[in-house]
């Protein structure tokens, strides 16, 4: 076993993680997103009062990995479940972790209304442009022309419609306090993503309304790409279609300094 | 205690409040909407949670979340809305947490109408959502009984970590009757050993889910649910009986059909017909044992429902062909009149009944002949 001298230790399992190894495919950025959330909850000292809501999707087992209470919602319904939890325990920290099929397709009703109500919950939204768990079908976020198992010739917008830009859409709602898009394709962007996740949870704790961080994410397995190529795909193809930025920064959220 | 005049739906709402309802999530649908409207005033006044959800999908999943937190939570709806809730109900059942749902049934299928119906019996009693589970289902026949069963439903749901559904039809929801309200109970949030309400420095983390990827683990869960159901069947069967001691014929009906049948049974008694009434209060667990005992001393049964004979199937299961079973049903939101049930009782008491006939087909032919 390799041991590391404490002063050389630059990286270790955050306290927000359990000891369970994640089940994600090699090179998948779900794991990165998990880690950021775990670090933020640990740094904020709120692990003890946090309840997570897992989706149906590749992150269905998210409840195995976080050192917090967790529930597992029906496909797309996580924001409604989180609403039920938060409303009866407003002093707790409640977050959902959802994929793009879960949030932007089957669960579009639930997410829009949670945002419109200004529900004091935080949503971590993983946009990987496909349905990872079921083997790579077209998602509402699949890029025009992108091949998936259910758009084998590439997404034809004439018949299969256009991708949905969730952050932009939700930002029009008055109940939304903090809605931003970040990407996980390189270390710099990962750091920015972490900061956004922190602000999102701070938004919730200060009662400033609904907060959501959309994270552009990879699915190398279903994209048929090597992990590095998948990161490049995010940078070169996804970021142009889903521009990074702060789509809703309420006056309150803008005051948050970290 | 004084008796007050209350409308069914509002009485259910207030009874739930007095039983310690901490959170309500619902969506408007006739003939249930008064519950939602009443609680939209009452819950905030008491500092409790009321939320009109974006849909019944939203409502039931809010219930699911609040139930995971361990609070007394309820939703109410009517048939089409309850169809939408079936996904959530299945998850709640699979997660083994308590929740109360009231279905003020209306005519269907589809959009149907808003008239009183019992057509969701099978939907409620035999599950409705996907997977193997067994909901407790209570069927009141009066406003007072709706109140009492609402209070009971929370206790049953918590005792068995189960869904408890109350099915009534729009007429009970809408009618006004003199009733007695229970005492207001203070909210006592229990620290359930399963609730996901935050570790708060006191315990290991908890997970609530309905997922068992390993089929053997799911089988163990299914067996656990079944075992729990056996206790429920053993201990929680409730029914009302009228004039059964010397009855030669017995009418069986739940909810409003049972109530209408009681008037008919009284009228028949006045004519010297030895008929009684069995009114299941828990339609799930179903009073199979009572029927089994009755079958050994009566000449025939008449099942009366406001559907095409959904409970009839459960009655026939207990009868096992030992005595003739007859059926009378009205459909689509039509409530039978006592006179109609009386003439059915007269018909049953005066004809030579056969074990061979299919009661639903015989009834169908009589209906079509009219
Ligand atoms: C009601 C329902 N419909 C369909 C499914 C099947 N299903 C499971 S996961 C999934 C898609 C998940 O995709 P996404 O939300 O994008 O998550 P990812 O796996 O990509 O992270 C689907 C359709 C289901 N479990 N439940
Ligand atoms: S299928 Fe895609 S999203 Fe799911 S774990 Fe594998 S790489 Fe990640
Ligand atoms: Mg996805």
What tens digit of pLDDT does each residue of A65-78 get?
A: 999 999 999 999 99
Three-state SS for A29?
A: coil
Contact predicate A166/A214, CB 8 Å = yes
d(CA B30, CA B25): 16
**Which residue in the block uniquely carries the two structure tokens 């974006």?**
B54
Parse chain A into domains and list their residue ranges.
21-148+162-249
**Contact: B65, A48; criterion CB under 8 Å:** no
Question: Cα(A101)–Cα(A116) distance, rounded to whole angstroms?
Answer: 20
| B83 Cα–ligand 3 center, Å | 28
Q: What is the mean pLDDT of chain A?
A: 96
Half-sphere exposure of A42 (CA within 13 A, CB side): 16
Domain boundaries along the sequence of chain B = 4-235, 239-369
Separation of A75 CA from ligand 1 center, angstroms? Answer: 6
Please list all protein residues whose beta carbon sits less than 5 angstroms from ligand 3, which is an ion: A 99-100, 128, 132
Q: Is the CB of A62 under 6 A from ligand 2?
A: no
What mean pLDDT do residues B128-152 have?
A: 97
| Ligand 1 contact via A99 beta carbon (within 6 Å) | yes
Give the per-residue pLDDT at A8: 80
Pairwise CB contact (< 8 Å): A50 & B53: no
Task: Look at residue A3 in the predicted model and tell me its pLDDT.
Answer: 64
What part of B 59-118 touches A (C-beta under 8 Å)? Answer: 59, 61-69, 71, 73, 87-88, 91, 95
Contact in structure between A189 and A182 (CB atoms under 8 Å): yes
Cβ of residue A124 lying under 6 Å from some atom of ligand 2: no
pLDDT value at position B114? 96
| Topology given in CATH for the domain delimited by B239-369 | Rossmann fold (3.40.50)
pLDDT band at A5 (very low <50, low <70, confident <90, very high): confident
Fold match between domain B4-235 and domain B239-369: yes
pLDDT at B296 over 80: yes
Whether B194 and chain A come into contact, CB under 8 Å, resolves to no
Tokens 């400033």, residue located: A208
* Residues A236, A231: Cα–Cα separation, whole Å: 9
Distance, CA A83 to ligand 2 centroid (Å)? 27
Pocket flag, ligand 2, residue A24 (CB < 6 Å)? yes
**Ligand 2 center from residue A133 Cα (angstroms):** 7
CATH classification of B4-235 is 3.40.640.10, yes or no? no
By the CB < 8 Å criterion, does A58 face chain B?
no
Mind telling me how many Å the CA of B85 is from chain A's nearest CA?
11
Structure tokens at A223: 């994209």
Grouping H, G, I as helix, E, B as strand and the rest as coil, residue A112 is helix
A1, pLDDT greater than 60: no
Number of Cα atoms under 13 Å in the Cβ half of residue B346:
11
Q: Counting one residue from A and one from B, how many pairs have CB atoms under 8 Å apart? A: 130
On whether any CB of chain A is under 8 Å from the CB of B39, the answer is: no
Cα–chain center distance at A74: 17
Tens digit of each residue's pLDDT (9 = 90 or more) over B257-288:
999 999 999 999 999 999 999 999 999 999 99
Average pLDDT over residues B287-303: 98
Question: Which ligand places an atom closest to the C-alpha of A223?
Answer: 2
Alpha-carbon separation of residue B76 from A192, B23, B134, B258 (angstroms): 44, 12, 19, 23
pLDDT tens sequence across A50-69:
999 999 999 999 999 999 99
Q: Does domain A21-148+162-249 have CATH number 3.30.70.20?
A: no
**CB nearest to B198's CB, from A48, A81, A109:** A48
Nearest of A145, A156, A162 to residue A233 by alpha carbon? A145
Supply the pLDDT for residue A9. Answer: 83
Under DSSP, is residue A209 helix (H, G, I), strand (E, B) or coil?
A: coil
Q: How confident is the model at residue B370 (pLDDT cuts 50, 70, 90)?
A: confident
Among all residues of chain A, which has the CA nearest to that of B97? A71
Query: Running DSSP on this structure, what letter comes out for residue A14?
Result: -
pLDDT at residue B248, rounded to an integer:
98
Q: Is A80 on the interface with B (CB under 8 A)?
A: yes
pLDDT (average), residues B244-264: 98
Q: Rounded CA gap, B51 and B97, in Å?
A: 21
């Amino acid at each position: 076993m390799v041991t590391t001298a404490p002063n050389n230790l630059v990286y270790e399992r955050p306290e927000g993680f359990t000891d369970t190894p994640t089940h994600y495919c090699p090179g998948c950025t779900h794991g990165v997103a998990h880690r950021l959330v775990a670090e933020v909850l640990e740094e904020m000292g709120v692990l003890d009062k946090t309840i997570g809501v897992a989706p149906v999707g590749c992150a269905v087992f998210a409840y195995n990995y976080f050192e917090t209470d967790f529930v597992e919602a029906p496909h797309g319904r996580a924001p409604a479940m989180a609403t039920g939890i938060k409303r009866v325990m407003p002093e707790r920290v409640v977050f959902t972790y959802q994929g793009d099929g879960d949030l932007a397709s089957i669960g579009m009703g639930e997410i829009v209304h949670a945002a419109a109500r200004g529900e004091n919950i935080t949503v971590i939204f993983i946009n990987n442009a496909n349905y990872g768990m079921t083997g790579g079908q077209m998602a509402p976020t699949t890029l025009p022309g992108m091949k998936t198992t259910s758009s084998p010739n590439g997404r034809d917008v004439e018949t299969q419609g256009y991708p949905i830009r969730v952050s932009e859409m939700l930002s029009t709602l008055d109940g939304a306090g903090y809605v931003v898009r970040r990407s996980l394709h390189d270390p710099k962007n990962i750091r920015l993503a972490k900061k956004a996740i922190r602000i999102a949870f701070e938004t919730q704790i200060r009662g400033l309304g609904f907060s959501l961080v959309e994270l552009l994410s990879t699915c190398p397995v279903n994209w048929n790409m090597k992990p590095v190529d998948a990161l490049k795909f995010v940078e070169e193809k996804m970021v142009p279609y889903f521009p990074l930025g702060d789509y809703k920064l309420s006056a309150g959220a803008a005051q948050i300094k970290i | 205690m004084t008796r007050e005049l209350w409308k069914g739906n509002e009485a259910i709402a207030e009874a739930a409040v007095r039983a310690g309802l901490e959170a309500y999530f619902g969506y408007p649908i006739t003939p249930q909407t008064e519950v939602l409207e009443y609680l939209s005033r009452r819950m905030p006044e008491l500092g409790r949670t009321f939320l009109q959800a974006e849909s019944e999908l939203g409502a039931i999943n809010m219930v699911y979340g609040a139930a995971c937190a361990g609070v007394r939570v309820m939703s109410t709806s009517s048939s089409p809305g309850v169809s939408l809730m079936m996904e959530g109900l299945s998850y709640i059942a699979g997660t083994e947490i308590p929740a109360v749902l009231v279905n003020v049934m209306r005519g269907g299928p589809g959009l149907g109408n808003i008239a009183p119906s019992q057509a969701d019996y099978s939907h409620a009693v035999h599950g409705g959502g996907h997977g193997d589970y067994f909901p407790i289902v209570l069927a009141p026949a009066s406003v007072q009984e709706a109140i009492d069963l609402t209070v009971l439903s929370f206790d049953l749901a918590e005792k068995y970590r189960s869904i408890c559904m109350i099915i009534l039809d729009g007429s009970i929801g809408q009618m006004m009757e003199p009733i007695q309200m229970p005492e207001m109970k203070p909210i006592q949030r229990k620290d359930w050993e399963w609730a996901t309400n935050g570790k708060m420095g006191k315990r290991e983390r908890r997970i609530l889910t309905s997922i068992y990827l390993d089929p053997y683990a799911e089988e163990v869960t299914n067996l656990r649910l079944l075992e729990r159901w056996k206790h429920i069947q053993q201990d929680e069967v409730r029914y009302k009986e009228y004039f059964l001691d010397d009855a030669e014929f017995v009418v069986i009906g739940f909810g409003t059909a049972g109530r209408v049948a009681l008037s008919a049974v009284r009228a028949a008694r006045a004519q010297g017909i030895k008929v009684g009434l069995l009114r299941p209060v828990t339609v799930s667990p179903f009073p199979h044992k009572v029927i089994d005992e009755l079958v050994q001393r009566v000449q025939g049964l008449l099942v009366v429902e406001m559907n095409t004979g959904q409970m009839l199937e459960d009655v026939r299961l207990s009868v096992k062909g030992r005595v003739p079973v007859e059926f009378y049903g009205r459909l689509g939101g039509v409530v039978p009149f006592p006179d109609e049930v009386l003439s059915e009782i007269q018909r049953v008491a005066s004809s030579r009944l056969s074990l061979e006939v299919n009661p639903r087909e015989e009834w169908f032919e009589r209906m079509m002949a009219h």
